[in-house]
């Protein structure tokens, strides 16, 4: 299942793939290995260091202090790295809001807090079932936080180029199309090509509305005519700069 989202200021993907259980579990296991390694190192350092040769309560206090980074690992990494932990970076997936825009700290905090329901109270069974049964592949934490997990793998297929055939006598329609970037236009063209090929008129309409909102355009052109004009106008202006 895919959704449409444009945010030209932040270059958010228009057409993205929602990630299900498999890749998320692999990312979770990678993060788990990192955490276990960290905790093992901390425990071994404490056991061989004379600094911590004190009573049992003091040792437990220091150990608890050193384990705090592991406890907050998921929350800190998701916030600092824009919806990714090390495991998610390796798997090329990330957490975004349902509309495709980047997460805010409060989305990630709610998602992290509800790990206690998804992962710990009844083991991971609740989280696994919610991902399998959800249309958007969301665990309970995702649903509450308004987030999804998407693929950020680079695509090298349809519309890998933004070039369009523009005749010498072509007359552009929208002069402010130059507010877009090459990446914006590449994303628009890819979503346009896929939607047109699949007769996905709903996505074409959403795409047109997003472009109109971004460029502050009002038009009576049909969706396909409008998007085609945007692509040709961009090529016309950028090729003649």
Q: What is the 3-state secondary structure (H, E, C) of 93-153?
A: EEEEECCCCECCHHHHHHHHHCHHHHHHEEEEHHHHHHHHHCCCCCCHHHHHHCEEEEECC
CA-closest candidate to residue 180, choices 214, 205, 210 = 214
Q: Is 84 exposed, middle or buried (0-12, 13-18, 19+ CB in 10 A)?
A: buried
Is residue 162 a contact partner of residue 177, using CB atoms and an 8 Å limit? no
Least confident of 14-23, 92-101, 180-189: 14-23
CA–CA dist 46, 120 (Å, integer): 28
Confidence of residue 94 (pLDDT cuts 50, 70, 90): very high
Confidence of residue 157 (pLDDT cuts 50, 70, 90): very low
pLDDT for 6: 43
Task: Assess whether pLDDT exceeds 50 at residue 146.
Answer: yes
Q: Write down the mean pLDDT value for the chain.
A: 82
Least confident of 116-120, 158-162, 193-197: 158-162
Highest mean pLDDT among 9-18, 84-93, 176-185: 84-93
Confidence of residue 56 (pLDDT cuts 50, 70, 90): low
Least confident of 33-37, 49-53, 221-225: 49-53
Neighbouring CB atoms inside 10 A of 227's CB total 22
Pair of tokens at residue 37: 């390694």
Confidence of residue 191 (pLDDT cuts 50, 70, 90): confident
Highest mean pLDDT among 27-31, 134-138, 153-157: 27-31
CA–CA dist 60, 47 (Å, integer): 12
Neighbouring CB atoms inside 10 A of 201's CB total 12
Is residue 119 a contact partner of residue 109, using CB atoms and an 8 Å limit? no
| 175-182 mean pLDDT | 85
Greater pLDDT, 10 or 57 = 57
Pair of tokens at residue 82: 């824009």
- Return the DSSP state at 196: H
Pair of tokens at residue 118: 């998804």
Q: Is 137 exposed, middle or buried (0-12, 13-18, 19+ CB in 10 A)?
A: buried
The verdict on pTM exceeding 0.75 is no
């Amino acid at each position: 299942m895919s959704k449409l989202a444009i945010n030209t200021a932040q270059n958010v993907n228009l057409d993205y793939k929602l990630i299900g259980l498999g890749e998320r579990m692999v990312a979770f296991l990678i993060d788990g290995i990192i955490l276990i390694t960290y905790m093992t190192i901390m425990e071994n350092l404490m056991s061989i260091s004379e600094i911590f040769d004190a009573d049992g309560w003091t040792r437990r206090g220091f150990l608890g202090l050193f384990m705090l980074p592991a406890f907050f690992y998921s929350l800190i990494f998701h916030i600092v790295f824009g919806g990714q932990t090390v495991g998610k970076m390796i798997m090329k997936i990330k957490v975004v809001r349902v509309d495709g825009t980047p997460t805010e700290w409060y989305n990630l905090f709610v998602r992290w807090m509800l790990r206690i329901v998804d992962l710990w109270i009844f083991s991971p069974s609740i989280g696994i079932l919610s991902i399998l049964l959800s249309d958007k592949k969301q665990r309970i934490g995702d649903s509450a936080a308004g987030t999804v997990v998407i693929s950020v793998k680079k695509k090298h297929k349809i519309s890998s180029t933004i070039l369009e055939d523009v005749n010498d006598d072509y007359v552009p329609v929208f002069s402010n199309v130059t507010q877009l970037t090459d990446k914006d236009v590449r994303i628009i063209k890819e979503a346009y090509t896929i939607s047109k090929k699949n007769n996905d008129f709903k996505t074409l309409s959403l795409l047109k509305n997003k472009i109109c909102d971004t460029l502050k355009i009002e038009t009576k052109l049909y969706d396909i005519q409008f998007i085609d004009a945007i692509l040709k106008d961009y090529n016309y202006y950028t090729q003649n700069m």
